């Protein structure tokens, strides 16, 4: 049996957090014991109430709260510090990623073929009839592909979706790793540092249901893309 810590960073997701937690609760993966850790990153809406109501009926779920919003990276770092599983996976609190895909990510770990697994959304061409039909999402797609290509060039391993939420890695790999990210730059930082430590990343195709910015999507393509670019360059040469 493998213990898997599922870290859920949350900020102002009152409309989706309960549904996501129910999906995680129903998740059943052979030979895996779940540890669910919710990190409420200073939410100002009803997210805290939704989490409290869920935890009240699921005492095995761990909930941690930041007094004020610190950013996704800071919330994940808090989750890692709280985790006790041999492996850790990140789960966003919206409904873009389906927790059922966690079962796909775990298989290569259980059969010993990989120690780090990412779920890739972008091992494909742009979908002009679906995700990339709007200029915003096409720009997001192209930006992510560029950052993934840059990761591949800088760190010597082909990556198609560096920015994916679904990153599964051994907890021991990050125990003594200095993680600085407070926001979305967590994605390039953890990727860069895992690759520099010699871990090979196996990518497994997953499907997602992207939400629009009018539905609460928080990523800013230009701002966060620029920070991710700088992070990839910086961590290639420093820790």
| Residue closest to 72 by CA, chosen among 10, 115, 124, 17 | 10
Give how far Cα 18 sits from Cα of 54, 59, 148, Å: 7, 15, 32
What's the CATH class of domain 2-237?
A: alpha beta
- Is the full-model pTM beyond 0.85? yes
109-167 residue pLDDT tens: 999 999 999 999 998 888 888 888 888 888 889 999 999 999 999 999 999 999 999 99
SS3 assignment, position 223: helix
Rounded Cα distance between 205 and 35, Å, is 24
Q: Please answer whether residues 34 and 27 qualify as being in contact, where contact means their C-beta atoms are separated by less than 8 angstroms.
A: yes
Mean pLDDT of the chain: 94
182-210 residue pLDDT tens: 998 999 999 999 999 999 999 999 989 87
Q: What is the pLDDT of residue 213?
A: 59
* Tokens 């609760």 -> residue: 25
* Tokens 């992070």 -> residue: 231
Rounded Cα distance between 32 and 42, Å, is 30
6-58 residue pLDDT tens: 999 999 999 999 999 999 999 999 999 999 999 999 999 999 999 999 999 99
Q: How many helices (H) and strands (E) would you count in the chain? A: 8, 7
Q: What is the pLDDT of residue 204?
A: 98
Q: How many CB atoms lie within 10 A of CB 130?
A: 10
66-102 residue pLDDT tens: 999 999 999 999 999 999 999 999 999 999 999 999 9
Residue 215 pLDDT > 80:
no
Q: Please answer whether residues 181 and 73 qualify as being in contact, where contact means their C-beta atoms are separated by less than 8 angstroms.
A: yes
Q: Please answer whether residues 99 and 208 qualify as being in contact, where contact means their C-beta atoms are separated by less than 8 angstroms.
A: no
| Residue closest to 184 by CA, chosen among 168, 162, 204, 199 | 162
């Amino acid at each position: 049996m493998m213990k898997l810590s599922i870290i859920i960073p949350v900020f102002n997701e009152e409309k989706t957090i309960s549904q996501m937690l129910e999906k995680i609760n129903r998740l059943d993966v052979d030979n895996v014991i779940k540890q669910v850790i919710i990190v409420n990153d200073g939410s100002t809406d009803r997210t805290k109430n939704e989490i409290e109501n869920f935890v009240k009926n699921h005492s095995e779920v761990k909930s941690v709260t930041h007094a004020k919003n610190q950013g996704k990276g800071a919330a994940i770092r808090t989750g890692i510090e709280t985790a006790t599983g041999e492996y850790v996976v990140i789960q966003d609190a919206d409904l873009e990623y389906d927790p059922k895909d966690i079962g796909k990510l775990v298989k290569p770990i259980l059969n010993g073929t990989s120690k780090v697994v990412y779920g890739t959304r972008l091992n494909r061409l742009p979908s002009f009839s679906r995700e990339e039909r709007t200029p915003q999402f096409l720009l997001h797609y192209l930006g992510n592909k560029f950052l993934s290509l840059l990761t591949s060039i800088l760190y010597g391993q082909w990556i198609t979706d560096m920015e994916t939420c679904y990153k599964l890695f051994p907890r021991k790999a990050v125990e003594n790793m200095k993680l600085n990210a407070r926001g979305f730059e967590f994605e390039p930082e953890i990727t860069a540092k895992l690759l520099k430590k010699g871990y090979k990343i196996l990518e497994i195709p997953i499907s997602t249901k992207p939400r629009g910015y009018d539905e609460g999507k928080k990523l800013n393509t230009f701002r966060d893309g620029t920070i991710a670019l700088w992070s990839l360059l910086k961590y290639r040469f420093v820790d």
